[in-house]
Structure 1
Amino acid sequence: MSELLVKSAKHKIGHILEIEFNDGHVACVDFAPFIFSNGHPDYEPYKSVENFLDFEIVDGNLNWDDYTMIFPVEDLYNNRLIKR
């Protein structure tokens, strides 16, 4: 199997993104539980939907503000965001 990559991400509502992967799989991922329960000051800006939506897809990963917030692609694929 080839490397799993994020192909596109579309905003649905709030902190929910519909993410399409390079194998055609689509997952609707709600980032709010992670962002609002984490408590780390680096994630404070992303409580604002406007700041949350300021992401890029870089090398097949969702990336916020030069890697301030990034998740393993497999976690996004399985809709399983875990505090690390």
Structure 2
Amino acid sequence: MEAAHHNFADDAVIDVMEAEYFPPYSIRLRFSDGAEQSVDFREFLEKSRHPEIRKYLDQELFRRFSVVYGRLDWNDYDLCFSIQDLYEGRI
């Protein structure tokens, strides 16, 4: 299967290449253009009222993400975010 590439305003193809967990709810991302971004998911998780999102407040569950086809993914897209939002560090 081909990787899903993400085009931003300058037509650059951007993918997540690596993701590293930092407790309790942060992930440091490295993108295909060499950019890096730390994203803290705590506020998003805590403010959500949806139980399928709030379950990721369990740190063991949260840290089980993976990079799949250039995207950050939890449990087969049970939880995922736009590449552009991650790149800009906002969710």
Same fold? TM cut 0.5: yes
- C-alpha deviation, 1:11, in angstroms: 1.1
Q: Any runs of at least 4 consecutive aligned residues in structure 1 with deviations exceeding 3 A, and if so which?
A: none
Q: Secondary structure at the match of 1:44?
A: helix
List gaps (5 residues or longer) in structure 1. none
d(CA) in 1 for partners of 2:23 and 2:80? 20
Deviations 1:62-81, CA, capped at 9 Å, x for gaps: 01111110000000000110
After superposition, the CA RMSD in angstroms is: 1.0
Q: Name the structure 1 match of 2:60.
A: 50
- C-alpha deviation, 1:41, in angstroms: 1.2
Mapping for residues 22-41 of structure 1, pairs under 5 Å: 22-41=32-51
Match of 1:63 among 54, 73, 76: 73
* TM-score where L is the length of structure 1: 0.90
Structure number with greater Rg is 2
- C-alpha deviation, 1:44, in angstroms: 2.2
Q: Secondary structure at the match of 2:13?
A: coil
List gaps (5 residues or longer) in structure 2. 1-10
* TM-score where L is the length of structure 2: 0.84
d(CA) in 2 for partners of 1:52 and 1:24? 25
Task: Give the paired residue count.
Answer: 81
